[in-house]
């Protein structure tokens, strides 16, 4: 029996990147994935399909303002076309991962992996072996089995087919059956990233969206000022936002749902009729049937804790991605995969989470890295915050995207950049500059003295750096607020 150097269980952005990285560096690797396709949540029912739908939403929003740009005519969403484009993009990228596995000589097994010992895995249902079980041996094992959506069934009536999760909207195997036509109305439960991205998407498609949010504000982990500004834009896009509210019950009426919503301070619950309810209350780590108990891998609230080299408590077994406590993000999963492989291949480096970029693909986008003003206060760190509005930026005006701003959080003494937040067009691209700055300990002086191409959105970043030096940016007349 072949003994592999590394066996990876789970073919998402954590697992497949670990396998490709190890294969590229000459290790003998096997990648075990139970899905018929590679790519995991990110590629098949998360990041990529949702971003194709956001793109359509952005185009529609832009086209509704086409008159402002000197273009006549109207545009209407075509649900079948939106779904078909999503599936085409996903399919191409997933096939690309398969091709890369072949090129890196990564052995791919389609089946469900279960740990037997710290060096062996039972792979069940491998199609190439006619559904037979197969035992795989490996010197090191990387667990990358990801996460699953929390279902609406935790609320009475949540087993109705009209109560859906992001999986039913995005996963090609579920999409058309679950939502055959563009919904006229949708209640979205959850004010986090997934809930708010879909609120932006469906509002732009013309769906009547009601967002039911437990906390007193949307996006509670985002900088307060940015979240407040975003909430205003969301309302302007037609989304009704119910804060401090919870769903008590779903009542399936055949052709629609009655969603019973209780808002804090209201005597009576309110009933909102809707075609669908999207349950977006978060995700949980997925380790079902993985055999963690069999080999003694420790878990905490369902997650698999690791040290900074991604080692679990069992020698030779590593864990990465959404099953590890911390950020549930695709690029964090990939990064952790590379850290685990580095340790296995004896080039150890510790995982460093100081500069994790966090992007929210709402309309407009929101992105953040490092410290926010609130987080600094919570940690007792003194900071100076400067900001620059996109309204004062030539490029933002030219492309018709004046909403938004950049905020820069620095150490007031050394002017070292500790964090950056951006809301507005291309925020998810602009944040890359902040990520490098935070990771590399760049100062505001460095950024202020770095030439930024004109006219571009990142000029706003340079302006916030200038404001750190002089108390005001160059291109606004009134000094920006300098908070300590
Ligand atoms: P997963 O991607 O969940 O992959 C785990 C894989 O393991 C799956 O393919 C599963 O089938 C397989 N598996 C599980 N158990 C077994 C087993 N026993 N044997 C074999 N295979 C098994 N993140 C971002 O960074 N940016 C975004 O824009 C973004 N958008 C998102 C949008 C949505 C709607 C959702 C739901 C998530 C989004 N995410 C985003 C989060 C991102 O998708 C996850 O953080 C990422 O996929 C985690 O990667 P992973 O490899 O840890 O796990």
Question: DSSP string spanning 26-39?
Answer: T--EEEEESSSSSS
What is the reported pLDDT for 128? 60
What is the reported pLDDT for 2? 79
Nearest-CA neighbor of 93 among 126, 47, 127?
47
Range 333-346 average pLDDT: 98
Cβ contacts of residue 417 below 8 Å, gap of 6+? 370, 408, 409, 410, 434, 437, 438, 441, 442, 443, 444, 447, 465
Answer whether residue 465 shows pLDDT above 90: yes
**Ligand 1, atom 52, residue with closest C-alpha:** 321
Answer whether residue 483 shows pLDDT above 50: no
Ligand 1 residue neighbourhood (C-beta within 6 Å) = 9-15, 32-35, 40-42, 46-47, 50, 112-113, 144-147, 166, 194, 286, 289-290, 321-322, 328-331, 333, 361
**Ligand 1, atom 8, residue with closest C-alpha:** 40
What is the reported pLDDT for 484? 39
What is the reported pLDDT for 125? 81
Count Cβ atoms below 10 Å from residue 71 Cβ, excluding itself: 10
**How do residues 10-66 score in pLDDT, each as one tens digit?**
999 999 999 999 999 999 999 999 999 999 999 999 999 999 999 999 999 999 889
* Best mutation site among 146, 168, 325, 431 for ligand 1 pocket (most ligand atoms within 8 Å of CB): 146
What is the reported pLDDT for 482? 45
Phi, psi of 30 (to 5 degrees): -120, 135
With the C-alpha atoms ordered 391, 395, 400, 406, is the resulting torsion angle positive or negative?
negative
Joined tokens for residue 409: 């959080």
Phi, psi of 330 (to 5 degrees): -60, -45
Closest atom of ligand 1 to 51 CA is 28
Count Cβ atoms below 10 Å from residue 288 Cβ, excluding itself: 9
Distance 43 CA to ligand 1 centre (A): 8
CA dihedral 143, 149, 153, 159 (to 10 degrees): -110
**Ligand 1, atom 37, residue with closest C-alpha:** 46
What is the reported pLDDT for 232? 95
Region of residue 366 (phi > 0: left; psi between -120 and 50: alpha; otherwise: beta)? beta
**Ligand 1, atom 12, residue with closest C-alpha:** 10
What is the reported pLDDT for 352? 96
Q: What is the DSSP string of 193-238?
A: HHHHHHHHHHHHHT-EEEEE-SSSSSSTTS-HHHHHHHHHHHHHTT
| Cα gap 417→438, rounded to integer Å | 6
Closest atom of ligand 1 to 35 CA is 11
Closest atom of ligand 1 to 166 CA is 34
Closest atom of ligand 1 to 287 CA is 15
| Cα gap 76→196, rounded to integer Å | 22
Which strands make up the sheet holding 208-212, listed edge to edge? 163-164, 276-279, 185-189, 208-212, 240-242
Closest atom of ligand 1 to 16 CA is 51
Told to judge if 454 belongs to the known catalytic residues of this protein, a careful annotator would answer yes
| Cα gap 103→87, rounded to integer Å | 24
**Ligand 1, atom 27, residue with closest C-alpha:** 47
Is residue 458 very low, low, confident or very high in pLDDT (cuts 50, 70, 90)? very high
| Cα gap 211→231, rounded to integer Å | 11
Closest atom of ligand 1 to 323 CA is 52
| Cα gap 408→384, rounded to integer Å | 8
Joined tokens for residue 461: 């970043």
Phi, psi of 32 (to 5 degrees): -105, 120
Helices 47-64 and 79-103, axial angle in degrees (round to 10): 140
* Best mutation site among 36, 94, 330, 359 for ligand 1 pocket (most ligand atoms within 8 Å of CB): 330
Distance 418 CA to ligand 1 centre (A): 29
- What does the DSSP 8-state code read for residue 405? E
Distance 322 CA to ligand 1 centre (A): 7
What is the reported pLDDT for 88? 96
Cβ contacts of residue 316 below 8 Å, gap of 6+? 118, 119, 139, 140, 141
Answer whether residue 177 shows pLDDT above 70: no
Answer whether residue 130 shows pLDDT above 50: yes
Answer whether residue 173 shows pLDDT above 90: no
Say whether the peptide bond before residue 364 is cis (omega within 30 degrees of 0): yes
**Ligand 1, atom 53, residue with closest C-alpha:** 146
Average pLDDT for the chain = 94
Cβ contacts of residue 289 below 8 Å, gap of 6+? 112, 114
**Ligand 1, atom 33, residue with closest C-alpha:** 46
Q: How far is C-alpha 179 from the geometric centre of its chain's CA atoms?
A: 23
**Ligand 1, atom 35, residue with closest C-alpha:** 46
What is the reported pLDDT for 131? 75
| Cα gap 395→305, rounded to integer Å | 45
Answer whether residue 216 shows pLDDT above 90: yes
CB–CB of 464/386 below 8 Å? Answer: yes
* Best mutation site among 9, 10, 49 for ligand 1 pocket (most ligand atoms within 8 Å of CB): 10
Closest atom of ligand 1 to 289 CA is 18
Choosing from 331, 343, 454, 475, the catalytic residue is 454
Distance 336 CA to ligand 1 centre (A): 13
Q: 148 in helix, strand or coil? A: strand
* Best mutation site among 31, 32, 36, 47 for ligand 1 pocket (most ligand atoms within 8 Å of CB): 47
| Cα gap 324→313, rounded to integer Å | 13
Is residue 257 very low, low, confident or very high in pLDDT (cuts 50, 70, 90)? very high
For the full predicted model, state whether its pTM sits above 0.85. yes
Range 304-310 average pLDDT: 98
**Ligand 1, atom 40, residue with closest C-alpha:** 47
CB–CB of 195/188 below 8 Å? Answer: yes
Q: 155 in helix, strand or coil? A: coil
Range 255-279 average pLDDT: 96
Distance 183 CA to ligand 1 centre (A): 26
């Amino acid at each position: 029996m072949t003994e592999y150097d590394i066996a990876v269980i789970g073919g998402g952005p954590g697992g497949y990147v670990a396998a490709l990285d190890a294969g590229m560096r000459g290790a003998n690797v096997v990648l075990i994935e139970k899905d018929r396709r590679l790519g995991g949540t990110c590629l098949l029912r998360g990041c990529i399909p949702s971003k194709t739908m956001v793109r359509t939403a952005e185009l529609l929003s832009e086209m509704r303002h086409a008159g402002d740009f000197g273009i006549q005519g109207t545009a209407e969403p075509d649900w079948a076309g939106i779904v078909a484009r999503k599936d085409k993009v996903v399919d191409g990228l997933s096939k690309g991962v398969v091709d890369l596995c072949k090129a890196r000589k990564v052995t791919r097994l389609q089946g469900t992996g279960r740990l037997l010992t710290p060096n062996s895995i039972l792979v069940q249902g491998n199609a190439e072996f006619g559904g037979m079980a197969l035992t795989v041996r490996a010197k090191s094992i990387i667990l990358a089995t990801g996460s699953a959506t929390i279902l609406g069934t935790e609320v009475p009536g949540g087993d109705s087919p009209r109560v859906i999760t992001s999986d039913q909207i995005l996963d090609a195997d579920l999409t058309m059956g679950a939502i055959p036509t563009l919904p006229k109305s949708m209640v979205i439960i959850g004010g986090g990233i997934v809930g708010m991205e879909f609120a932006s998407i469906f509002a732009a498609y013309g769906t009547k969206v009601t967002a039911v949010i437990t906390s007193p504000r949307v996006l509670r982990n985002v900088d307060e000022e940015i979240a407040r500004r975003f909430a205003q834009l969301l309302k302007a896009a037609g989304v009704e936002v119910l804060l401090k509210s919870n769903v008590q019950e779903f009542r399936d009426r055949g052709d629609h749902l009655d969603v019973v919503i209780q808002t804090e301070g209201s005597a009576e619950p309110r009933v909102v009729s809707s075609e669908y309810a999207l349950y977006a209350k978060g995700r949980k780590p997925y380790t079902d049937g993985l055999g963690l108990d069999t080999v003694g891998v420790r878990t905490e609230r369902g997650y698999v804790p690791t040290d900074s080299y991604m080692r679990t408590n069992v020698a030779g077994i590593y864990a990465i991605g959404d099953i590890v406590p911390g950020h549930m993000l695709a690029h964090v999963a990939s990064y952790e995969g590379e850290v685990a492989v580095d340790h296995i291949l004896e080039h150890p480096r510790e995982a460093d989470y100081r500069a994790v970029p966090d992007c929210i693909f709402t309309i407009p986008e929101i992105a953040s890295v490092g410290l926010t003003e609130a987080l600094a206060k919570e940690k007792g760190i003194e900071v100076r915050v400067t900001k620059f509005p996109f309204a004062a930026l030539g490029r933002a005006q030219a492309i018709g995207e004046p909403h938004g701003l950049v905020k820069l959080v620095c150490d007031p003494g050394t002017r070292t950049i500790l964090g950056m937040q951006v809301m507005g067009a291309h925020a998810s691209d602009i944040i890359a500059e902040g990520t490098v700055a935070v990771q590399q300990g760049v100062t505001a002086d460095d950024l202020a003295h770095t030439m930024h191409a004109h006219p571009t959105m990142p000029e706003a970043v340079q302006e916030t750096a200038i404001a750190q030096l002089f108390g005001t940016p160059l291109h606004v007349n009134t000094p920006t607020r300098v908070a300590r």
